Chains A and B, each alone.
Chain A
């Protein structure tokens, strides 16, 4: 309990310190210190929690391996984004008060994402997710450009509409339980799971589909993904990394917990199938838009949809391998996507353009950033020897032994299309025609901008060649605790 409190208090205190005061404190360093503290806490929490699931604070909080894993993903991205922000935010030329506001919002955003995985009441989890939307909408629009405000507006309206569907789903779940547990009972994940077997399967499935569409909107699953490419491409690069690497996982956590409620009921099979179908549809949409993409950050945004789709399919396949692969994919996606958004941010500032067509001969202009970004691009398409290869292979193996083998064929074809389409864009940026002399970049990269990319790449490489046994056992435990 103490550890969770510290985990929440660190960003909360950082917000308070960043409030206007007579002392001129560096808000970027305060944020970085908070991110380091949060990362350390989440790591200790991850290692120290041995049992599958326990409740605290009269059942309001839940500590589970799955929740701890999502928290760890959030804190890792928060740390990487905080390091990167020290170098990146000065490039935006925001006023000092605006910069302070940015860091306060970033800390608030991290805090809201750190609260959600511990909510044992699905309704309170919904509220935490709603709060993430409100705070991050301001982060997306922080630059006050017409495009970024438009993106923030679309994000807020589409996600709020989607989340209202999940609230309806939650109310229906609770209502179904009242016929057996009485008109007033504690709304928790476990109480809903206990009563699920006595609720008619078709009713359960309808409630689950509402939740899937609702939280799926937040997770960026197609066809509710329309806000994602706009918000991810128009926010500053560290915010894009947080939105993609951390927030999507936090939203997916809700879907998976509702899926787990259905375990052991007749609605479980159709619900898993719904996960696979929506995942495949998202994968196809991502593949089509990646191939014809012109904007560099939009390319990364569609890649996020691809990754979330694969994670969804992994949970849809289920079983030990499917869940382990999906959980591993969550972390690999988090660090890989952070790397890619940081690289995209660096290139956007370096070449003063968001267009892929304006970025040329990256390795000659930026050898250190360019090398990490190129290797990150290879990693993100699921090629060995990086982490995503391991996690995707695990999901494939789960697909082979599942009852939905047909889905695997579509997944493989879509991934091949994405591999070719994605790397073709990088081919043109690295080895394409000679650049126009006017577009030769002048911006000098510094360690703050490059080091988080390399940190992420090293982790991706290590997790690509070595999947620790302890981690596999942890994933098995997390799967059992669902």
Chain B
């Protein structure tokens, strides 16, 4: 199993990459410019692609090389380009209605990472896994999930919600590459394509929102209540 048999150099590379992915999610929390969000997401996806490559190399999982290439292509390139185009079409450069200031958002994000670490530590102990890589991967998986939810809660623009969801997906993908690199290959492939379809669907619906509802902000989408 990769998390148990990884060499110290592999462990260092993987841990560093996870740390970079987490820092990039904080960049998303700390900025209100949509372009920065999308670039940070693209960066995070490339980091995950490199991570897949590293696990493939050190863990000898050949099919992960293909996953790494597809991750860089889909998550790291096509999805950010689609989102950039969507932001341009909607003429939105910045999230104008944040509930938190950037600094407060980052503090809450930090607290969520602490919670994620506590949960991961407790889970690791129960499973008898005291390995550093497993602990860091679990923390990143739960942490990115929580940060993704935080992004969706504190931001009101539809495109920010899509980005929040993508951060959540990135977290699961990152965690599963390290914890279960042997996850059926077909499943990983289908999830990648599924993500592309869902982002395209989101894009289409956001444009419908703009055309038919006149807004893409959840603060103004308040017609349906009760």
What B residues does A29 contact at CB under 8 A?
A: none
Checking B161, B176, B202, B213 against A146 with a beta-carbon cut-off of 8 angstroms, the contacting residue is: B213
**Contact A164 B208, CB 8 Å, known A150-B221, A171-B180:** no
Interface residues of B in 144-184 (CB under 8 A from A): 145, 148-149, 152, 158, 161, 164-165, 168-169, 172, 175-176, 179-184
Given the interface pairs A153-B158, A183-B1, the reply to whether A168 lies near B172 with Cβ below 8 Å is yes
Q: Interface-forming stretch among A46-54, A120-128, A401-409?
A: A120-128
Min CB gap A291→B, angstroms: 12
Report if A428 contacts B (CB, 8 A).
no
Closest to A289 in B: B226
- B56 vs chain A, min Cβ distance (A): 13
Given contacts A130-B194, A144-B208, contact A161 B187 (CB under 8 A): no
Residues of B within 8 A of A139 (CB): none
B190 neighbours in A (Cβ, 8 Å) = 123-124, 127
Tell whether A147 pairs with B224 under 8 Å between CB atoms, given A161-B149, A200-B126, A203-B126.
yes
A141 to B191, CA, bound (A): 25
Contacts of B194 in A (CB 8 A): 127, 130-131
* Inter-subunit contact B198/A134 (CB<8 Å): yes
What residue in chain A is nearest B1 (Cβ atoms)? A183
Contacts of B181 in A (CB 8 A): 183
B149 to A: closest C-beta gap in Å: 7
Q: Which residue in chain B gives the minimum CB-CB distance to A294?
A: B226
Q: Does A471 contact B (CB under 8 A)?
A: no
Residue of A nearest to B142 (CB): A168
Q: With an 8 A cutoff between CB atoms, is A154 at the interface?
A: yes
Question: Which residue, of A171, A203, A295, has the highest number of chain B Cβ atoms within 10 A?
Answer: A171
Name A167's closest neighbour in chain B (CB-CB): B172
Chain A residues with CB below 8 A from B127, complex form: 176, 179, 199-200, 203
A183 contacts B145, C-beta separation under 8 Å:
no
**0/1 interface trace, chain B 69-95, chain A, CB 8 Å (1 if under):** 000000000000000000000000000
Q: Is the CB of B212 within 8 A of A156?
A: no
**Are A147 and B126 in contact (CB-based, < 8 A)?**
no
- The residue on B at minimum CB distance from A122 is B187
CB neighbours of B187 from chain A (8 A): 121, 123-124, 127, 187
Least distance between B44 CB and chain A CB atoms (Å): 16
**A425 proximal to B (CB < 8 A):** no
Take A150-B221, A171-B183 as given contacts and tell me if A164 and B191 are in contact as well, using a CB distance cutoff of 8 Å. no
The size of the chain A interface, using a CB distance under 8 A, is 55
When A175-B180, A179-B127 are in contact, do A137 and B205 touch as well, CB less than 8 Å? yes
User: Is A197 positioned at the interface, with any CB of B under 8 Å from its CB?
Assistant: no
- Min CB distance, B95 to chain A, in Å? 16
A160 interfacial contact with B, CB 8 Å: yes
> Could you say which of B123, B168, B180 contacts A164, with CB atoms under 8 Å apart?
B168
Q: Say yes or no: A171-B179 contact (C-beta < 8 A), given A141-B205, A149-B205.
A: yes
Counted as pairs of residues, one from A and one from B, with CB atoms less than 8 Å apart, the total is: 132
> Are A164 and B169 within 8 A (Cβ)?
yes
Contact of B184 among A186, A293, A295, A298 (CB under 8 A): A186
A152 close to chain B: CB less than 8 A? yes
Question: B197 near A154 (CB under 8 angstroms)?
Answer: no
Q: Is B209 a contact of A153 with CB atoms below 8 Å?
A: yes
Among A134, A229, A293, A298, the one with the most B-chain Cβ atoms within 10 Å of its Cβ is A134
Q: Does A178 contact B (CB under 8 A)?
A: yes
Question: Taking CB as reference atom, which chain A residue is nearest B124?
Answer: A203
Contact of B182 among A147, A152, A178 (CB under 8 A): A178
- Taken together as a complex, chains A and B put the C-alpha atoms of A130 and B223 apart, in Å, by 26
Query: Which residues of B have CB within 8 Å of A167?
Result: 172, 191
Assess whether B141 is interfacial by the CB under 8 Å rule.
Answer: yes
- Answer yes or no: B46 CB below 8 A from chain A CBs: no
**B224 with A168: CB separation less than 8 A:** no
* A74-93 Cβ-contact flags toward B at 8 Å (1 or 0): 00000000000000000000
Across the interface, which residues of B come within 8 angstroms of A229, CB to CB? 224, 226
- B residues bordering A, Cβ < 8 Å? 1-2, 123, 126-128, 141, 145, 148-149, 152, 158, 161, 164-165, 168-169, 172, 175-176, 179-184, 186-187, 190-191, 194, 197-198, 201-202, 205-206, 208-209, 212-214, 221, 223-224, 226
Seed contacts A121-B187, A123-B184, A157-B202; 9 additional CB < 8 Å A-B pairs: A127-B191, A130-B198, A141-B208, A144-B212, A161-B164, A161-B165, A171-B179, A178-B179, A178-B180
Which A residues lie at the B interface, using CB under 8 A? 121, 123-124, 127, 130-131, 134, 137-138, 141, 144-147, 149-154, 156-157, 160-161, 164-165, 167-168, 171, 174-176, 178-179, 182-187, 199-200, 202-203, 206, 229-230, 233-234, 289, 292-295, 298
24 contacts between A and B (CB under 8 A): A121-B187, A123-B190, A124-B190, A127-B190, A146-B212, A146-B213, A147-B223, A152-B208, A153-B205, A153-B221, A156-B205, A157-B161, A160-B198, A164-B148, A165-B145, A168-B175, A171-B183, A174-B180, A178-B1, A178-B179, A183-B181, A183-B182, A200-B126, A234-B224
Which 4 A-B pairs give the minimum distances between C-beta atoms? A184-B182, A123-B187, A146-B213, A183-B182
